Amino acid sequence: MSSAVVSIRFDPDTIGVPPEQWQTFCAEHRIEHSPQTVGGNVYYAGDVEIWYALHKLNFSTYWMGSEMPSVARLALLAWVRWGGALDADPEIRHATASMSIKEDHPL
């Protein structure tokens, strides 16, 4: 199986995404923690898997067609809130060409 991924990286010299802000973001967007994962840093919003670390967020899905807009939407919402360096797989960029969460989003 293949997956589509969007990553947001934050400068290690910055605060990144503090846990309390991440929890607020999760509540706002119906993102649920997955306690069964090793490390305790995986979250789900439907079929979108999110890996959270203080200085990096990964948004991915194995459902290449139907969930790519959801991956992009959540990643862009996080990017609008916290900034950072965004990197998206080509499939995500193509699937989201018409999205406009922020006028100059880099996907």
- Give the domain CATH number at 44: 3.30.310
Instruction: Give the pLDDT score at 43.
Output: 95
Asked, for residue 107, whether it belongs to a domain, the answer is no
Q: What is the mean pLDDT of residues 36-64?
A: 88
Let me know if residue 106 belongs to a domain. no
Does some domain include residue 29? yes
Work out how many domains the chain is built from and give that number: 1
Q: What is the mean pLDDT of the chain?
A: 83
Which residues span the domain enclosing 87?
A: 4-95
100 found inside a domain: no
| 11 within some domain | yes
For residue 1, pLDDT over 50 is answered with no
Half-sphere exposure of residue 79: CA atoms within 13 angstroms, side-chain side: 25
DSSP assignment, residue 51? E
pLDDT digits 0-9 by tens, 60-83: 987 766 778 888 889 989 999 999
**Residue-level pLDDT at 82:** 92
